[in-house]
Structure 1
Amino acid sequence: MNKQIITGFAAAMMITAAISCQPRQKEPQKVPAETGETTVGQSAKPAESGYADVNGLKMYYEVYGEGKPIVLLHGSFMNIPLNWSQIIPLLADDRKVIVAEMQAHGRTKDIPREFSYEGMADDVSGLLKHLKIDSADILGYSMGGGIAFQFAVRHPEQLRRLVVLSGTYAHDGWWPEVEASYATFTPEMFKGTPIQKQYDSLGNDPARFPEFVKKVLSIDLKPYDWSEEVKKIQAPMLMAIGDADGVRYEHALELFRAKGGGKMGDINGLPESRLAILPGTTHIGMMLRTDWWIPMVKDFLDADLHAPPPTF
């Protein structure tokens, strides 16, 4: 087994380990295969759930809480219960939380369409129209971060503020060893993992799981670079990465500087956008640092970004 295959295998195992060690709710989640709802925590149940007809796709979604809307976009191979079950209650206490499953993920069945960040961003736009929501905050993690960037580029009129956790806007935003590892992933590496078990349990054909893995990987096996478009995004953004993430520090810093960062705020004032680098945090570990980034996200979404910096 060569070094690249070992790297890919290790990454797949990290996904499994991270999901398995998430803190458990006191009551088990309930994830029916077709039309049922996800029960999150002891009392949080979706106020609304169903399927939205968008761009030839029947997109499964759930809505929790009341207040300003925020859309959560999951990572590769994930779905609502795997990515967001621990997070929804932390955000739904004072805002409307919209979660959806992207093309081929969870209860959103695949269609004969290229798998792309652009297409999934258009699907999110269609979902907001289906829900009759004019604009919303968008939070994307990993693959969801790429979708969030494309949503901001393609549908700026529907965006209020943007939050990207451990996501990139160009393929070389990943550390070189991470980018190289994508080509080493195989469906066999996911055999017996929670990812495969969730895929099977949500009404998908188990025989098509290898096809699902290959399709999801396809978007990271070809170069992409949205640097110029992303730097022109007008909406305020919060970009957060871990100091042991798969995302290069320079990649995040380049965007932050383009959004007005890189200056002393006491002299020049605070930029509308923000950057956070969480210590002791890996790519997968970002989802386990909710006690850190949830308060950061809430503060960013609620802040008066035109207020002067604090003085003594």
Structure 2
Amino acid sequence: MIRIATFAAALLMASPAFAQSEPQGQTVTVNGMEMYYEVSGEGEPLIVLHGAYMNIPAMGGIIPRLAETHKVYALEFQGHGRTNDIDRPITYPNLADDVAAFMDAVDLEKADVFGYSMGAGAGLQLAIRHTDKVDQLIAASVSYDVEGWQPAMVEMIPSMSPEMFVGTPMEDAFRELAVDKEGFPALVEKLIALEHEPQAWGDDVARLETPVLIIAGDADAMTLEHAVAMFRLLGGGVMGDMGQPLPASRLAILPATSHTAVINQVDLLHAFIEPFLEGETPKGMF
């Protein structure tokens, strides 16, 4: 999630996408838009949610890797990729409700969810607003409160303007797939507005019973303290080896990793995600 939208996406969209294994692409009507999605792999269902200004190809190699053991449903959000924009603001509750409506449309009663950046925020809101639809949540580069953003991020937000995005790789990538090739300025305005949306979800997070794997870079857009605080809200941070099962939620910090570097570390991400989804824990002495 981290409404890091801007510089994060700029680097991601400029980087080459990994080859994917023949996913099946189609659209379904969701809340007045034609939402594009791709299905790949076999196994338990896993929904993948991209970050701001991104699309399915920009998520890179993690989708085909996850599709080796799961049936992956990769979505493109409102105004992103091949999903058309509609006359509605982009907010985290709206994005979460879109995912819930998508699940209903394709007869998915419940699924695991993996979200990155904006997609992680949408996934977190999905677990809050539609608890019965989320089995387990992997939230990479997520915040639950604006107080958790890095000072540099807070300083950057007021300076954002649509003009900053003109002629960028993000605009080029948008035009490549977009239904409305001239719709980029409208999308930028909505995503800048998203950066200014209030965000204080601590009480909601504390009430969650959904197991959550929090993944963050040690140089991410939220502070390390924020990631730890979220982990504690979910019941984590206790001492193991005391004869009690470990909490269901987990925390993984990627070393030497900025926000935009998180999604490109496919092997490392997969090494954290797969054991979490399978309920595996490292064996200790006790």
TM-score under structure 2 length normalisation: 0.91
Task: Report the equivalent of 1:45.
Answer: 22
- In structure 1, the gaps of 5 or more residues are 1-10, 26-39
In the alignment, what sits opposite 2:201? 226
The 1-side partners of 2:15 and 2:34 are apart by 31
Which of 238, 246, 250 is 1:270 aligned to?
A: 246
Mapping for residues 23-34 of structure 1, pairs under 5 Å? 25=18
Instruction: Count residues with an aligned counterpart.
Output: 282
Aligned equivalents of 2:222, 2:78: Cα separation in 1: 24
Q: Which residue of 1 aligns with 2:122?
A: 147
Give the secondary structure class of the aligned counterpart of 2:99. Answer: helix
CA distance in structure 1 between the partners assigned to 2:197 and 2:60 by the alignment: 31
Deviations along 1:226-273, whole A, 9 cap, x unmatched?
Answer: 110111111111001111101111211112112222221112441111
The percent identity for this pair of structures is 39
Give the aligned partner of residue 202 of structure 1. Answer: 177
Matching of residue 175 in structure 1 with residue 150 in structure 2: yes
* Shift in Å, 1:311: 2.5
The Cα of 1:14 is off from its aligned counterpart by 5.8
Written as runs of structure 1 = structure 2, the 5 A alignment for 1:60-209 is 60-82=36-58, 84-209=59-184
Aligned to 1:310: 284
Amino acid at match of 1:210: P
**In 2: Cα distance, 1:120 partner to 1:18 partner:** 21
**Aligned partner of 2:192 among 217, 235, 238:** 217
Cα distance 1:117–1:166, how it changes in 2: closer, same or farther (>3 A)? same
In structure 2, the partner of 1:20 is: 14
- Partner AA of 2:26 in structure 1: G
Q: Kindly tell me: are residues 49 and 116 of structure 1, through their superposed partners in 2, closer, same or farther at Cα, counting changes over 3 Å?
A: same
**Residues 137 and 13 of structure 1, relative CA distance in 2, 3 Å threshold:** closer
CA distance in 2, matches of 1:251, 1:288: 22
SS in 1 for 2:183: helix
Distance in 1, matches of 2:198 and 2:107, equals: 35
Larger gyration radius, structure 1 or structure 2? 1
**Aligned partners of 1:74, 1:281: CA distance in 2, in Å?**
18
For residue 169 of structure 1, give the secondary structure of its aligned residue in structure 2: coil
**CA distance in structure 1 between the aligned counterparts of 2:45 and 2:66, rounded to whole angstroms:** 10
1:59 aligns to 2:35 (yes or no): yes
Q: Which has the higher relative contact order, 1 or 2, with Cα contacts under 8 A spaced 6 or more apart?
A: 2
Confirm or deny: 8 A CA contact 1:269 1:309 kept in the other structure: no
Q: Tell me the distance in 2 between the aligned counterparts of 1:144 and 1:13.
A: 16
Shift of 1:221: 1.0
Q: Are the equivalent residues in 2 in contact too, given 1:135–1:160 (CA < 8 A)?
A: yes
Structure 1 letter corresponding to 2:74: V
CA distance in 2, matches of 1:140, 1:182: 22
AA aligned opposite 2:104: K
Structure 1 residues 195 and 149: alpha-carbon distance in aligned structure 2, compared to 1, 3 A threshold: same
Larger mean Cα displacement after TM superposition, 214-223 or 70-79: 214-223
From the superposition, tell whether residues 148 and 137 of structure 1 become closer, same or farther in structure 2 (CA, over 3 Å): same
Shift of 1:189: 2.5
Match of 1:7 in 2: none
Kept in 2: contact 1:172–1:179 (CA 8 A): no
Write the letter of the residue equivalent to 1:275. L
Q: CA distance change for structure 1 residues 290 and 200 in 2, over 3 Å: closer, same or farther?
A: same
In 2, Cα distance between equivalents of 1:204 and 1:52: 14
